[in-house]
Amino acid sequence: MKYALHIGKEPNFQAIVATSAIIHLVLIALIVIPLRSKEHEYTSYFVNLVGPAETAREKTSRPPAVKEEKKESTSVKELKAPEVKPQPKADMALEQAEQVSKEIERLRALSALSKQKEKKETEKARDIEIIKQNVRQNALKGAGIPGNVQSLASDSYYALITRKIWSEWIYPEFGATGLEVIISVKIERDGRIVSHDIERSSGNVLFDRSAMKAVAKASPLPAPPFEMEIGVRFYL
């Protein structure tokens, strides 16, 4: 078996190393440069998308907050509105019933007073009794006039002054009955009352005072046929 031997120059190791280094640099450059360009493009694209999205989200999130504030303010206004409570029907009915009851009581009181006054006026219109027997006898003796003529004149005069004194009497309204007072009255010839005193008291100061005032206000009386002193009886 034959062996072929090739004998030539030694390979140049420096040239091989340099060539290998250049090739590696080129490969590295080809790999790094595209990666960097892609990173810049991705970053720019990411920034442009995120910014508008967040702005839009903030804009859309604000209106509900405003609406809630409006709702809250409206609810506050509704709470502040005063409540008008209607008066219960039972209270109104009770109040009306009380008013009607008071009016009925007032009318009853007026009716009772009116009836009582009519009764008293009827009694007094009948006569305010005039008593003074001894005075009449003395007057008849002093005048020298026949007794029957003097008696008729006196009776007519007594009826006249009775009406006059009665018209001036304002008696107190206190519901008491059975009261009686006699006032002694002295009358001049011109009708003036020169004196009037309580001859017998009723025991009620107001009643006695009303009788005294009636006699005083009636002066002057119609002129009597002669000077006289009489007793005027007031009673209930």
Domain ranges within the chain, ordered by starting residue:
13-65, 92-126, 127-235
| Cβ count within 10 A of residue 34 | 10
pLDDT along the chain (236 residues), means of 10: 41 65 77 56 46 51 52 51 64 81 84 72 58 49 47 72 91 80 92 91 91 92 88 88
DSSP string, 82-115: PP-PPPPHHHHHHHHHHHHHHHHHHHHHHHHHHH
**Tokens for 131?**
């008593």
| CA angle, residues 157, 233, 151, in degrees to nearest 5 | 30
Burial level of 233, CB count in 10 A (0-12/13-18/19+)?
A: middle
What are φ and ψ of residue 231, in 5° steps? Answer: -115, 125
Contacts of 231 (CB under 8 A, 6+ apart): 130, 131, 132, 135, 182, 183, 184, 185, 199
Q: What angle do CA 195, 200, 201 make, to 5 degrees?
A: 105
Separate counts of helices (H) and strands (E) for the chain:
5, 3
Sign (positive/negative) of CA torsion 186, 191, 194, 196? positive
pLDDT of residue 51: 47
pLDDT, residue 114, reads: 72
Give me the pLDDT at residue 35, please.
54
Cis ω before 146 (30° cut-off from 0): no
Cα 188 to Cα 220: distance, rounded to the nearest angstrom: 9
Q: Which CATH architecture has domain 127-235?
A: 2-Layer Sandwich (3.30)
Give the Cα separation of 33 and 158 in Å (integer): 156
Give the pLDDT score at 22: 84
Place of tokens 């006054």: 117
pLDDT of res. 110: 80
pLDDT of residue 134: 47
In this prediction, residue 151 carries a pLDDT of: 52
Contact 165, 187 (CB under 8 A): no
Q: Give pLDDT, residue 187.
A: 92
pTM, full prediction: 0.39
Cross-strand bridge partners of residue 169? none
User: Which pLDDT value is given to residue 200?
Assistant: 93
